Structure 1
Amino acid sequence: MDNYTKQKINRLHPSIQAEVITIVNECNTALKGKAKIRITQGFRTFEEQNLLYNQGRTHPGKKITNAKPGQSIHNYGFAVDICLIIEDKIASWDTAKDWDNDKIADWYECVKIFAKFGWEWGGNWKKFKDLPHFEKRGHNNWRKLIKLKQDTNGYVILKKEYYA
């Protein structure tokens, strides 16, 4: 696991950090060729979300999100975006490439591993496909998360009522 990925994991909600480490390690074990998984996005502040939301609207560039601040699961630390790093230097978002020649696209090997741990893949969404995006099921309702109190580090405090 590369240092960039470790840094992104360390900023995720503490309740899922260990699980994400396990997922990344399983992905890297499954990818026996040139590719390894890298987390490119994790926790995102409301300010960072606002900058992304304004891109293509009030700032130059292509629209990349429909989520306003508070409406992204990234804002609560329960989502990651990934890419594959080829030979430790080239970022790839190619979902079809089979770098390890095992007849399964490397990206989909990772999709299966995330799913095994109860993560939803943005590539399965009907309206806005977000291929690099994965979010933890059970924590992916921003309307509930935005109402929760935060701890001193800014993470939402999960209570049993959240799951009801």
Structure 2
Amino acid sequence: MRILKNLMNFFFFAVVVALVLFFLVPQVEKELPQGVFYKKDVPLPTNLHPTVEKRKEQLVEKVRGSGINIVITEGHRSVQRQDKLYEQGRSSEGQIVTYAKGGESYHNYGLAIDFALENEDGRIIWDTEYDGNGNGRSDWLEIAEAAKGLGFEWGGDWENFKDYPHLQMDFGLSIRELKRGKRPKVDEYADEE
């Protein structure tokens, strides 16, 4: 009977520890100063990943061929720029445009781009209903569809925070893995054309 009681106590303790690690560690990771969970010997990229760059160019060419004037507004983003965007709508003026602090965005790892449209007057717009090529479909949704066909994930499909200008390729890596130094290898994801 005593062995059974000890086993039950151990099992209860193990479950509690597992739950704490599962729920608490990611939250603590967000609250700690930047760099605490980074692997020191793996620098952050300074450009778009070559595959993302190539697919970005293919996307621009494809949608422009359909009469859509796409503008890539951001690609790789520094941690400092990400922090500045995060402050927008919080400690600085403007609307909230991101929920990711520096180091928590795929932009910081060269794996994401943002886009907008250019209207007939040459103005940059973020109108998701705009039909500049006059085919009866939203240019924005046509871009998202084309991007997904090239392997991008579209922020407009996200459940919690719809990020309509955002396209990313995570290569199966989480932000946590990227923070710890994992990077997609160029050769692993090269096209097989």
Same topology, TM > 0.5? yes
Amino acid of the structure 2 residue aligned with 1:85? E
- Normalized per residue, the structure richer in strand is 1
Structure 1 residues 159 and 29: alpha-carbon distance in aligned structure 2, compared to 1, 3 A threshold: closer
Aligned partners of 1:101, 1:140: CA distance in 2, in Å? 38
Aligned partners of 1:27, 1:96: CA distance in 2, in Å? 16
Are 2:165 and 1:132 aligned? yes
Give TM-score scaled by structure 1 length.
0.77
Q: Please name the residue that 2:153 is paired with.
A: 120
Are 2:44 and 1:49 aligned? no
Structure 1 residues 15 and 99: alpha-carbon distance in aligned structure 2, compared to 1, 3 A threshold: closer
Moved over 3 A (4+): none
**Percent identity at matched positions?**
37
Query: What's the offset of the Cα at 1:19?
Result: 1.7
Query: What's the offset of the Cα at 1:159?
Result: 4.3
Q: How many residues align?
A: 143
Structure 1 residues 87 and 11: alpha-carbon distance in aligned structure 2, compared to 1, 3 A threshold: farther
1:74 aligned to 98, 107, 115, which one? Answer: 107
Gaps of 5+ in 1: 1-9, 150-156
Query: What's the offset of the Cα at 1:87?
Result: 3.2
Aligned partners of 1:139, 1:55: CA distance in 2, in Å? 29
Structure 1 residues 88 and 141: alpha-carbon distance in aligned structure 2, compared to 1, 3 A threshold: farther
Gaps of 5+ in 2: 1-45
**8 Å CA contact 2:52, 2:112 repeated in 1:** no
> Rg larger in 1 or in 2?
2
Q: Please name the residue that 1:95 is paired with.
A: 128
Give TM-score scaled by structure 2 length.
0.66
Structure 1 residues 140 and 61: alpha-carbon distance in aligned structure 2, compared to 1, 3 A threshold: farther
